[in-house]
Amino acid sequence: MDRIPILKMGPFLLVTIQVDMYDRLALNLENDLIIMVQKNGSKGVLIDISAVSIVDSFMGRIIGNIATMSRIMDAETIVVGMQPAVAITLVELGLPLSGVHTALNVEKGMALLQKKLADDLTEDSESEAEMDDNDQSE
């Protein structure tokens, strides 16, 4: 059965959809991504859809599902390279892909993911520091 390859790049997973998506392929991707996130403890998923010419409600739902599931697994999802026509169609369809971060291209998407990772780290260290402070004050 066909599968879309998922590349591991440090703490992130990179998916480039270069083929025509059909339902089974999309469902397999969803499944594979979640397993990979869990296996690698990935912090972000970057999906490049620059070669995808149409996103209908089913595909939209799959992307939304990936984002939601990843967030539950403590990973951010960023969809990059969306064609303007696809974006317009999605809006007309009333599918805003809520919960899915987007970026214009892969570079910007990676930068966004890294920033988010850095933010998380500082947040974590700050909260740890706060906790330390609290300990000290006690």
Partner 1 sequence: MMEEVQKPIIEVSLDTELDLVIAYKKAMQLAEISGLNFTEQTKFATAVSEISRNALVHVGKGDIKFYITKDGQSFFIEAIVHDSGPGIKDLGSLLKKLELQTGGQRTGLVNCKRLSDKFEMDSSEEEGTCVRIGRRLPGSHPPINHMILSGWRKHFSQLAPISPYDELKRQNILLLKTLEELRVKKTQAQEQLEEIQVLHLELENNYHKNKQLSDDYARQNELLLKRNEELDEFAHIVSHDLKSPLNNLKGTLKLMEMGQIDQEKTVVVFKGQLQKMENLIQSVLAYSRAGHEKLEKTTVDVGELLKEMENNIVLPEGFTLEIERNFPVLFTEKIFLYQIFSNLLSNALKYNDKVEGRIIVGYEQNETGDFCFFVEDNGPGIPLKKREKVFKIFTVLENTKKADSTGIGLAIVKKIITEKGGKIWIEEAKAPGEGSRFCFTWPAELVQ
**Which residues form the interface with partner 1 (CB under 8 A)?**
20-24, 53-58, 61, 83-86, 88-89, 92-94
Smallest gap from residue 59 Cβ to partner 1 (A)? 9
Smallest gap from residue 13 Cβ to partner 1 (A)? 25
Residue 21 or 110 having the CB closest to partner 1: 21
- HEC profile for the chain? CCCCCEEEECCEEEEECCCCCCHHHHHHHHHHHHHHHHHHCCCEEEEECCCCCCCCHHHHHHHHHHHHHHHHCCCEEEEECCCHHHHHHHHHHCCCCCCCEEECCHHHHHHHHHHHHHHHHHHHHHHHHHHHHHHHHC
Smallest gap from residue 24 Cβ to partner 1 (A)? 6
> Closest Cα partner for 55 from 15, 28, 95, 106?
95
Residue 57 or 105 having the CB closest to partner 1: 57
Residue 62 or 112 having the CB closest to partner 1: 62
Smallest gap from residue 7 Cβ to partner 1 (A)? 24
Residue 68 or 89 having the CB closest to partner 1: 89
